[in-house]
Amino acid sequence: MNQDIEASPSPKKQFSNVTVCSRFRPLNSKERKDHGGQVCVCRIDDETFVFKDEKEEESTFSFDKVFYEDSLQADVYEFIALPIVRDAVNGVNGTIITYGQTGAGKTYSMEGPNVLESDDMKKGLLPRVVDGLFEHLASAGDSIKYKITLSMVEIYMEKVRDLFDLSKDNLVIKQNKDHEMLVSGVTEIHLSDTGEALQNLHAGIQNRAVGETQMNLASSRSHCAYIFTVQPVSTRDRGRTGKLVLVDLAGSEKVEKTGAEGKLLEEAKTINKSLSALGNVINALTCSSSKSNHIPYRDSKLTRLLQDALGGNSRTALICCCSPSTSNSSETFSTLRFGTRAKHIKTSPTAKRIIDEETGARWNALDVPAKEESGERTLAEVKLIPTVKPIDHASDAPKKDDHHGRILAKLRERLDDEDVNLLEELLILEGMLFDPSAEGVRIP
Ligand SMILES: Nc1ncnc2c1ncn2[C@@H]1O[C@H](COP(=O)(O)OP(=O)(O)OP(=O)(O)O)[C@@H](O)[C@H]1O
Ligand SMILES: [Mg+2]
C-alpha cells in the first residue's frame, strides 16, 4: 500500500508560518553492523521521499526540504536559518527547532561536532548563525549601530536553568505586556564579535546536562534554548528588536533501546512527557474539529517557552532529525508524522502591530487611522507578526470579550503577569473568553 502523507495539496501552496524540513543523518556503525545498513527511506527528490515501515508498507512524505545523508551543514543553514537571521536583523522574531529521536542528529545539526569547530564542512547552525548575524550587521554600515545579546537556558527535569548562572535554577517563563514570551531574570550577555559569541556559547554548552546512553554517547538530557536579541541602538529604529531563538530539544527515547536506569530513566520520562505536551499543542493548533479552542501551552515548560514560535508570533523552522536505519523506522515514522502535523499549523496573512510613540496606543495595521498611515505621526515600532488561526472564532467573538480584555489589561498593570495569565486561562476554560493565542495578535 502506498499512502500519500503530504502530497496533496502541495505543502508549498499552503500558507504556514512553520517551515518544516526533515534531515537524515548517515547510518552509524552499530546500524551498519546489526542491520546490514538497510534503510527505510527512498529518495524521490529534494522535497519528497518514500518511507517503508517494518511491514514494508510505503508512505510518501513531502516537506519544504529534505536533507539526505549526503547533505551539507552549509545547505541546512542556507535554507533554514539564513532567511530567519535576515528577519531577526530587521526586527522580526524567529525560531529554529531541532526535533527527533535520541541520536538522530539534533545537536549535531545545531552545534556541529562542537560549537568551536572551524571546519566548514562540519560547522553547525549556531556558529553559522553567529557569523550571519555579525555579517548582516557589518553590512548595515556605520549609520545604524546594533546591540546583540545572548541568553542560554535549559529545561532540565521541568526546571528552567540559566546556563550562564547556575544559581538561577528555576526561572519563570512569562508573557510581557506585548504577549511575547520571556524568561524572567535570565542572564543576558552582550556580544561584540563572533569570537566572543562562540566562547560564550561554548561556556554555556559546557553547563548543559548530557548523559551517556546505549543510543548516544553524548545524549542531551535537557531542552536547550539559545536566545539572541538584535536591537538597533540608533534613535530612529530603536523599537525594532528582533529575537532569534534556536532550540535543541532532548530526544524522544524508548527506554528498552537506550537502557536508561536510575537518573537517566527519570530524565527520559520527563523528556518524553514534555515532548508529548509539545505534540498535544501541535494537535490542538491543527485540529479544527477540537471542541474547545484551548491550546495547552501551560502543560509543560517547553510548550510555554515555544508559545511564540508555535502561536504565530515568530517565523519558525522545524528540523525533523531522523535515523535512516530500518532498526529505527517506527521512531522515524513518528518524527515524520510530527513534522507533517506541524506543517499544518496555519497562519493568517501577516499582520502589523503599530505602537504610537506619543500615546502608547496600539493598532492592528488594518485599524490604523488614515492620518497615522500617511506618516503624520512617528511610529516607534512596526513589527511583522504572522498570526495563527487554528479555528476562525475571531469574527464570532462576543462583544463582552472586548470588555474582559480591557479588564485583563488593567489587571496586568497592577498584578504579576503570571497571575493575570492564570485568571485569563480560567475565563477561557469557563467559556467566558476566547483564547487570545488562537486569535493571533491580541490588542489589549
Ligand atoms: N549529519 C551527520 N553527519 C555526521 N554525523 C552525525 C550527523 N548527525 C549526527 N551525527 C552523529 O550522530 C551522533 C548522535 O548525534 P546527536 O548527538 O546530534 O543526536 P541527538 O539527536 O542530539 O541525540 P539526543 O537526543 O540523545 O541528544 C553523534 O555522534 C553525531 O556526531
Ligand atoms: Mg542532543
Average pLDDT over residues 298-302: 95
Q: Which atom of ligand 1 is nearest to the CA of 219?
A: 26
pLDDT at 39: 96
**CA 134 – ligand 2 centroid, Å:** 26
pLDDT digits (tens, 9 = 90+) for 346-363: 643 233 343 434 344 443
Mutate to test the pocket of ligand 1, among 108, 246, 249 (most ligand atoms within 8 A of CB): 108
Ligand 2 centre to CA of 177 (Å) is 33
Place of cell 549535531: 108
pLDDT at 6: 45
Burial 375-401 (b: 16+ CB within 10 A, else e): eebebbbebebbbbbbbeeeeeeeeeb
User: Do residues 76 and 19 lie in contact, with contact meaning Cβ atoms separated by under 8 Å?
Assistant: no
Which numbered atom of ligand 1 lies nearest the CA of 110?
A: 18
Is residue 216 in contact with ligand 1, taking CB distance under 6 Å? Answer: yes
Please indicate whether residue 105, judged by its CB atom, sits closer than 6 Å to ligand 1. yes
Is the separation of the CB atoms in 53 and 3 below 8 Å? no
Q: Comparing 320-334, 345-359, 404-418, which segment has the lowest mean pLDDT?
A: 345-359
Measuring CA to CA, how many Å separate 293 from each of 282, 338, 441? 13, 20, 16
288 against 356, higher pLDDT: 288
Q: Which three cell numbers stand for residue 306?
A: 515555544
Residue carrying C-alpha cell 522574531: 93
Burial class (CB in 10 A: 0-12, 13-18, 19+), 409: middle
Instruction: Determine the average pLDDT of the residues in 15-33.
Output: 89
Q: One-letter amino acid identity for 304? A: R
| Lookup: cell for 411 | 489587571
pTM of the model: 0.79
Which amino acid, residue 72? L
CB of residue 106 inside a 6 A radius of ligand 1: yes
pLDDT reported for residue 309 = 87
Query: What mean pLDDT is predicted for residues 109-129?
Result: 96
Percent of the chain with pLDDT over 70: 73
Is it the case that residue 408 has pLDDT exceeding 80? Answer: no
Measured in Å, residue 330 CA sits from the centre of ligand 2 at: 19
Please state which of the ranges 156-170, 278-292, 426-440 shows the lowest mean pLDDT.
Answer: 426-440
pLDDT given for residue 178 in this prediction = 79
Question: What is the C-alpha to C-alpha distance for residues 15 and 32, in angstroms, rounded to an integer?
Answer: 40
Q: Which of 29, 154, 216 to mutate to test the pocket of ligand 1 (most atoms within 8 A of CB)?
A: 216
The pick from 23, 25, 97 for probing ligand 1's pocket by mutation, whose C-beta has the most ligand atoms within 8 angstroms, reads 25
Amino acid at the residue 199: Q
Q: Which amino acid is at 432?
A: M
Ramachandran bin of 415, using left for φ above 0, alpha for ψ from -120 to 50, beta for the remaining angles: beta
Which of 175, 193, 172 is closest to 301 using CA atoms? 172
> Looking at residue 1, what is its pLDDT?
47
Query: What span, in angstroms and rounded, lies between the C-alpha atoms of 337 and 67?
Result: 17
103 versus 441: which is more confidently predicted?
103
Across the range 139-161, mean pLDDT stands at: 91
pLDDT band at 432 (very low <50, low <70, confident <90, very high): low
Instruction: Give me the numbers of helices (H) and strands (E) for the chain, helices first please.
Output: 14, 20
pLDDT at residue 240, as a whole number: 78
pLDDT of the residue at 34: 86
| pLDDT range class, residue 402, cuts 50, 70, 90 | low
Which range, of 79-83, 124-128, 383-387, averages the lowest pLDDT?
383-387
Average pLDDT over residues 313-328: 94
Structure confidence at residue 141 (pLDDT)? 75
- Phi and psi based region of residue 427 (left: phi greater than 0; alpha: psi -120 to 50; beta: remaining): alpha
Assign 13 a pLDDT band (cuts: 50, 70, 90). Answer: very low
**Does ligand 1 lie within 6 Å of residue 251's CB atom?**
yes
With cell 533501546, the residue in question is 257
Residues 23, 105 contacting (CB under 8 angstroms): yes
Q: Is the CB of 221 under 6 A from ligand 1?
A: no
Look over the chain and give the mean of its residue pLDDT values, rounded to a whole number.
80
CB burial of 303-334 (b: ≥16 within 10 Å; e: otherwise) equals bbbbbbbbbbbbbbbbbbbbbbbbbbbebbbe
% the chain with pLDDT above 90: 58
Determine the atom of ligand 1 nearest the C-alpha atom of 23: 1
pLDDT per residue over 240-277, tens digit each?
789 999 999 999 989 988 999 999 999 999 999 999 99
Residue type, 79: F
Checking if the pLDDT of 377 tops 50, the result is no
Contacts of 216 (CB under 8 A, 6+ apart): 102, 103, 251, 258
Q: For residue 46, is pLDDT > 90? A: yes
| Lowest-confidence pick of 91-95, 266-270, 372-376, 393-397 | 372-376
What is the number of the ligand closest to the CA of 104? 1
Does the pLDDT of residue 105 top 90, yes or no? yes
Q: Does residue 41 register a pLDDT over 90?
A: yes
Place of cell 537524515: 24
Binding site residues for ATP, as ranges? Answer: 100-107
Question: Do 423 and 387 touch, CB atoms closer than 8 A?
Answer: no
Question: What was the pLDDT predicted at 293?
Answer: 73
Residue nearest to atom 13 of ligand 1 (CA): 103
**Helix residue spans in 77-153 (DSSP H):** 82-89, 106-111, 125-139
Strand partners of residue 41 = 51
pLDDT at 142 (0 to 100): 74
